[in-house]
Amino acid sequence: MNARPPLEDLIDFVITGPDGTGAGGSSTRVVVREMFQNARESVVVIGYAVHQGQRVFQTLADRMAELTTLGAFSEVSMACRKPSAPGFLLLDACQVFVSSGNFTEAAQQRNIEVGVLLRSPTVADRLLRFLDTLVERAQLRRVL
């Protein structure tokens, strides 16, 4: 029987202050950048606003270029949603980052934002299935 890791190893709060620093060392910008740098197979981004996307997504573009040459990266999906829901980032169907922030430079570096990083393939799978249902119902629209 496999023992589950402690809850603290599966869940992190990501709290960003107005100066871009995070509580406990993790800020929105740092977590998003690390997730993009560690992507191996797929990334799903759900957000309402994207501003200065070239800066926000440069790390992901670099990682995709690196892995595409190795034939390893299979999918990047982006979808837009209504502004009332939080932003999501799903990485390799095993990590989920849910944040109050959008994918903008301000949300990544200057705004006060609160998010939760979940390291759980089960949670990621549930969210992916739910998002697929929303796309099928035309309640969420893929843009990439």
Task: Quick: pLDDT tens for 30-87.
Answer: 898 999 999 988 888 887 777 777 888 899 889 888 887 766 766 677 766 665 566 8
Residue 94 pLDDT > 90: yes
Neighbouring CB atoms inside 10 A of 35's CB total 21
Tabulate helix, strand, coil % of the chain (nearest 5): 40, 30, 35
> What amino acid is encoded at 48 in this protein?
Y
DSSP SS3 for 82? coil
pTM exceeding the 0.75 threshold for the entire prediction: yes
CATH number given to 8-142: 3.30.870.10
**The predicted structure's pLDDT at residue 141:** 76
The vertex-128 CA angle with 122 and 133, nearest 5°, equals: 130
